[in-house]
Amino acid sequence: MTIQTPATELLKIKLPLIQGGMIWCSGWRLASAVSNAGGLGTLGSGSMYPEVLQAHLTKLQAATDQPFAVNLPLLYPSMEEHIQSCIDFKVPVVITSAGSPRIHTERLKNAGICVLHVVSSASFALKSQAAGVDAVIAEGFEAGGHNGREETTTMVLIPAVRDAVQIPVIAAGGIADGRAMAAALALGADAVQIGSRFAASQESSAHPAFKEAILRAGEGATQLTLKELAPVRLLKNPFYQEIQSAYLQGASKEELEALLGRGRAKKGMFEGDMQEGELEIGQVAQSIHDLPSAAELTKNIYSDCVDTLRDLARFTR
């Protein structure tokens, strides 16, 4: 018995579960572990130079014969080269985010690639569908990393996107266990995308100090900030506090950009500087207390989802 949906059919995966592509956390080890466990593993290309992505693609293809994805956060550099790499390596699925779906979808689809776009509103979901994407990933306010200005939460966003489009809808934001996966299916999603939970897994390439910080995160430990620049949910560390004081002193967009720089995310998530680094993680970090393997996580979340649905089925008899 497996949960088959339009999303598992589209992506040719066994379980309706996508591991979110996360900068500095999701290389070939994590992606292959998830794909081999029946989900869709994803390389987060935002933090990679072109030759680094190519090296990860080579290793990933050697480590799995199952479908996988590459996430292209369009606000990062090297996207043109990354797209060519995806075409050259015959990547089965590309997930575009943080940009317009109109720019690259046609080229990717012409190369036989399945294209998913990340949206934070029903109106963007409609635009993405019109741009020809195969499915949308609707990501709520609670999600880590880059996010929408409308602040719409997963609970409100998924039914709205479900009602707006005809293509498969994948729910993201706040999902880290089988209960939330079942809830997403109830809201109308055809699959889930899970990021933060996999950032805190054995195969995640996050620095051990960042993984420890995720385990320690409590309620209210993250905040959506930099709304004028590009809204992003961060762990409230000293670097975050620096951003907040800059805000309170009325910093300009340029000053905020200078403060942010580009090296901050690497410094925090990959090099483990918990003071001066930028730490992107979702609200659901508050519920993460261990560091299992990605295969265990995939299997447990899925089987807990099935158990939850079985438990709820008692109300229908």
Point out which residues bind its own copies (CB under 8 A).
1, 3, 121-123, 140-142, 149-156, 159-160, 162-163, 173-175, 177, 179-180, 182-188, 219-220, 223-224, 283-284, 286-287, 306, 308-310, 312-313, 315-317
Q: Which is nearer to its own copies, 48 or 184 (CB)?
A: 184
Q: Which is nearer to its own copies, 98 or 309 (CB)?
A: 309
Q: Which is nearer to its own copies, 110 or 249 (CB)?
A: 249
CB of 108 to its own copies, least distance (A): 27
Closest CA to 89 of 124, 43, 121, 47: 43
**Any residues with CB less than 8 A from the CB of 13 and at least 6 apart, and which?**
35, 38, 39, 40, 66, 67
- Give the integer Cα–Cα distance in Å for 45 and 78: 9
Count of CA atoms in the C-beta half-sphere (13 A) of 68: 33
DSSP string, 253-308: HHHHHHHHTTTHHIIIIIT--TTTS--B--GGGGG------HHHHHHHHHHHHHHH
CB of 133 to its own copies, least distance (A): 19
CB of 241 to its own copies, least distance (A): 16
Torsions phi, psi for 106 (to 5 deg): -60, -45
CB of 26 to its own copies, least distance (A): 21
Give the end-to-end CA distance of the chain in Å, rounded to a whole number: 20
Running DSSP on this structure, what letter comes out for residue 40? B
CB of 296 to its own copies, least distance (A): 19
Describe the strand order of the beta sheet including 222-225 as a list of residue ranges. 145-146, 232-235, 222-225
Q: Which is nearer to its own copies, 91 or 180 (CB)?
A: 180
CB of 236 to its own copies, least distance (A): 11
Q: Which is nearer to its own copies, 9 or 80 (CB)?
A: 9
CB of 167 to its own copies, least distance (A): 18
Which position has the token pair 């320690």?
216
Q: Which is nearer to its own copies, 150 or 296 (CB)?
A: 150
Burial track 194-203 (b if 16+ CB lie within 10 A, e otherwise)? bbbbbbbbeb
Torsions phi, psi for 194 (to 5 deg): -120, 120
- Give the integer Cα–Cα distance in Å for 145 and 50: 22
Q: Which is nearer to its own copies, 283 or 298 (CB)?
A: 283
